[in-house]
Structure 1
Amino acid sequence: MLLEYKTVYEGKESEIVEKKSRFIASVEAVATEEEAVEFIEYVRKKYWDARHHCFAYVIGENHELKRYNDDGEPGGTAGKPMLDVLLGEDIHNTVVVVTRYFGGTLLGTGGLVRAYQGATKAGINASDIITKKRGHMLEILTDYTGLGKIQYILGQRGLRIMDTEYTDSVKLSVLIPLDEEQAVIGEITEGTNGQAGLTVGRACMFAEHEKEILIFEE
């Protein structure tokens, strides 16, 4: 089980030109092979007049499913190089389709490999990439005396307080990465002399995007 992994939050398009041939990379986040196939067909229809629609996709936390296709280009010059980019960038649950409009000049084997890899990299770079982390929501109940110490501990670790309720006591809801959970609980317990109530809540995946916290249910 991975504690964190990179994936596409919002896929984009990007284009490069090599010797007048256009290579348009279309990127999308996918959770299943069916979604990947559906996106590939969408791109085929969108650019219906193009000569080639080569693709590669990876699905699963450990890249359990990997597929690629050269779509008429010489074997090994398109799909596999595209897949190598996804694996090299360690991107998960993502499909890339590179559409080629032939410009009239043959690129040769090496030129095609560089073009398809370059287009794939450009598409990934144009897309919004996030790092999903596995964690829990930690509920902390404290009196006002212990609040400052808890806020200091959380601040030192850069942990985000998602919600705060003030009554005769204070209840904090905090996202805790799984690999920090026990250490944070230990620090808060020690820092408040065991006076804070700590409850580990639901498991989730979360990520930060443009200073906003995104929460994904497990």
Structure 2
Amino acid sequence: MEQKDTYNTILSPSEETLFKDRNSKFFGYAFPVTTEEEVKEHIDALKKQHYQARHWCYAYVLGKEYEQYRANDDGEPSNSAGAPIYGQLQSFDVTNVLVVVVRYFGGTKLGVGGLINAYRTGAQLALENARIVKKTIDIPFSVQFEYPLLNKAMRLINDHKVTIIEQKMEMDCVFHLAIRRKESEKVIEAFNEVYGINLLKDE
């Protein structure tokens, strides 16, 4: 199986969306996040903004490999809120994203089926309203060489579309670089083959 080297995410929060069912209101939000701390900050902010709401249900996925996720029903019946929201994150195939659906109770119980549909729709609207972008998973590496080899190194960097993260150009040059995972072995080998360009172990 080919190793995945791209992931989908959003770069900015979505506009607020609203779904109504039998007088209950479900406000949907999608936020770009990379840590659980950021997740908590967004939820705390929404609790202040919607202090009269009844439930702030959410799900998130973190990590370029989609490795960390959580769903929270926040007092709704088990799996009636967090799970359908998480299902939409999977459906849209996004990571480093938090989706929160805030519910104002309208006086009529919706039943578990109604809740699942409402939270799923709330999450779907939030994600449809967000701009999803594809990013590559990049492998970092560093090279060191004497200044006279700079042209050779730059040619390799340009030919292979390597990203320069940081560079120190003195008599002894050090470049911190990144290359898309799929290309990494081939490109690192190309640098390795040039006499005088040394690969450094990334800390």
TM-score range, shorter chain: 0.5 to 0.7
* 3-state SS of paired residue (2:57): strand
Aligned-pair CA distance for 1:98: 0.5
Structure 1 length-normalised TM: 0.63
Unmatched 5+ residue regions in structure 2?
none
Aligned-pair CA distance for 1:55: 1.9
Whether the 8 Å contact between 1:185 and 1:198 is mirrored in structure 2 is no
* 3-state SS of paired residue (2:124): helix
Whether the 8 Å contact between 2:34 and 2:96 is mirrored in structure 1 is yes
* 3-state SS of paired residue (1:126): coil
Say which of 15, 18, 41 aligns to 2:17: 15
Structure 2 length-normalised TM: 0.66
Q: How does 1:1-218 map to 2 (within 5 A)?
A: 5-6=7-8, 10-18=12-20, 22-28=25-31, 29=33, 31-32=35-36, 36-37=39-40, 39-59=42-62, 63-69=67-73, 71-72=75-76, 76-102=79-105, 112-124=115-127, 125-126=129-130, 131=135, 133-141=137-145, 147=151, 150-164=153-167, 172-190=175-193, 194-202=194-202
Aligned-residue identity in percent: 26
Rounded to whole Å, the distance in 2 between the matches of 1:170 and 1:70 is: 54
Whether the 8 Å contact between 1:142 and 1:195 is mirrored in structure 2 is no
Amino acid at match of 2:139: G
CA RMSD, Structure 1 to Structure 2 (Å): 4.1
Query: How many residue pairs were aligned?
Result: 197
Rounded to whole Å, the distance in 2 between the matches of 1:156 and 1:116 is: 48
Structure 1 residues 18 and 152: alpha-carbon distance in aligned structure 2, compared to 1, 3 A threshold: farther
Aligned-pair CA distance for 1:165: 5.3
Structure 1 residues 91 and 144: alpha-carbon distance in aligned structure 2, compared to 1, 3 A threshold: same
Whether the 8 Å contact between 2:144 and 2:198 is mirrored in structure 1 is yes
Aligned-pair CA distance for 1:110: 5.7
Unmatched 5+ residue regions in structure 1?
204-218
CA offsets per residue over residues 83-111 of structure 1, 9 Å max, x none? 11123334445432201235678777666
* 3-state SS of paired residue (2:184): helix
